[in-house]
Amino acid sequence: MVIKVPIAKPIIGEREIENVVEVLESGMVAQGPKVVEFEEKFASWVGAKYGVATNSGTAALHVALLAAGVGLGDEVITSPFTFIASGNAIVYCGATPVFADIDLNTYNIDPLTIEDLITDKTKAILPVQLFGQSADMDEIREIARRYDLMVIEDAAQAHGATYKDEKVGSMGDMACFSFYPTKNMMTSEGGMITTNDESLADRARMFRDHGSDVKYIHDEIGYNFRMTDIEAAIGLAQLDRIDEFNDKRIENAEYLSSALKDVDGVVVPYVSDDRKHVYHQYTIRVDKGSRDDWVEVLTDRGIGTGVHYPIPLYDQPVYKKLGFKGYSPLAERAADTVISLPVHPSLTREDLDLIVDAVREASDSID
């Protein structure tokens, strides 16, 4: 079956190509001045004082947790309804991920389920700003304040999202972004930590670069998590267009929601009134029949789909082997029923209508 409308389509323009060629011709292809420029401009765009670029979003999470002092025996509360990198970064530090439940409307961590999970081992809360919409950050920050916990935003999917006029990436002690090719903006691979705390930024830079503040003097066990100037050059070009990309995603999402809101068996994405949702994913829930049946019809009609995410993290085989446990009934319900549809900026009106027609056909064919 030929996919006519792919689930994602990275946009690479002339500016990205020109920037990369400029870096290649300069001979400075590893971490250098372009990375510094990208860090400064991205942090400013987010509304944070400092940016620390890394070679992936996963590395950003790992480094941020290390900078926050998370280590062996600690616990970090997070969502089970996310990509495994959110949990793995905690495990890399020798800590244990502890799983709260989610708000079924937004798919983000539910603050009401956090407090009962806090123990004397809890070091941080890691809310995942899933699909492009912020979690309830006021409630999360208040819990963190009462229990003296760090808040580290996993903002890998939420470039440009806002919460009560604050941008995602500026609200926690630190925030971590991904620039994987399918994200709202990309650098081919790459990540970024943003923070308003200079000491956390300095520690993050140290862990990113082999645990070294001064060349050849290593105070900690660190990693080679540096971004290259080639990646930063792409990021600088994408940063100039991210607001345009997000506006198009929002326009596409609003068109889909308007056309699908009355389709039997479909629950369209919910957007809180005080938030800007930037739709890294346009994720519906299906509440009749089997999700596989819906996906089969959509695939037969040439519509690309994704299931984000089919297994709560505590049910992943590796986490079971490691002895991690959890029970989050709403996350489990979401994992069984979500389907992501194309929403990327390259979609045409014809593409959107093909998606709508395919979903309606699926609804009509499924009891």
What is the pLDDT, as a whole number, of residue 119?
Answer: 98
For residues 114, 117, 123, 128, the Cα torsion angle rounded to the nearest 10 degrees is -40
Tens of pLDDT, residues 4-33: 999 999 999 999 999 999 999 999 999 999
Q: Which helix (H) or strand (E) holds 205?
A: helix 198-208
Q: Which helix (H) or strand (E) holds 52?
A: strand 50-54
Is the confidence at residue 272, as pLDDT, over 90? yes
pTM above 0.95, yes or no: yes
Q: How many CB atoms lie within 10 A of CB 194?
A: 32
Tens of pLDDT, residues 94-103: 999 999 999 9
For 33, residues 6+ apart whose C-beta sits below 8 A from its C-beta are 229
For residues 137, 138, 143, 146, the Cα torsion angle rounded to the nearest 10 degrees is 140
- Contact between 82 and 154 under an 8 Å Cβ cutoff? The reply is yes
Q: How many CB atoms lie within 10 A of CB 177?
A: 31
The upper half-sphere exposure of residue 12, i.e. CA atoms within 13 Å in the direction of its Cβ, equals 16
- Contact between 75 and 103 under an 8 Å Cβ cutoff? The reply is no
The conformational region for residue 94 under phi > 0 = left, psi -120 to 50 = alpha, else beta, is left
Tens of pLDDT, residues 220-255: 999 999 999 999 999 999 999 999 999 999 999 999
Is the confidence at residue 39, as pLDDT, over 90? yes
- The residue to which tokens 């971490």 are assigned: 31
Tens of pLDDT, residues 101-114: 999 999 999 999 99
Q: Which two tokens stand for residue 311?
A: 């297994």
Percent of the chain with pLDDT over 90: 99
Q: Taking all residues of the chain, what is their mean pLDDT, rounded to a whole number? A: 97
For 184, residues 6+ apart whose C-beta sits below 8 A from its C-beta are 132, 157, 159, 160, 242, 245, 246, 249, 278, 280
What is the pLDDT, as a whole number, of residue 324?
Answer: 98
Is the confidence at residue 264, as pLDDT, over 90? yes
Of residues 111, 62, 71, 88, the one with CA closest to residue 313: 88
Crossing angle, helix 242-260 and helix 349-365, to 10 degrees?
40
For residue 367, name the pLDDT band (cuts at 50, 70, 90): confident
Q: How far is CA 15 from the centre of its chain?
A: 25
Is the confidence at residue 1, as pLDDT, over 80? no
Is the confidence at residue 90, as pLDDT, over 80? yes
What is the pLDDT, as a whole number, of residue 177?
Answer: 98
- The residue to which tokens 């326009």 are assigned: 251
Cis bond before residue 50 (omega within 30° of 0): no
Q: Which domains does the chain have, with CATH numbers?
A: 14-239 (3.40.640.10), 242-365 (3.90.1150.10)
Tens of pLDDT, residues 325-338: 999 999 999 999 99
Q: State the Cα–Cα distance between residues 27 and 128, nearest whole angstrom.
A: 38
157-183: average pLDDT: 98
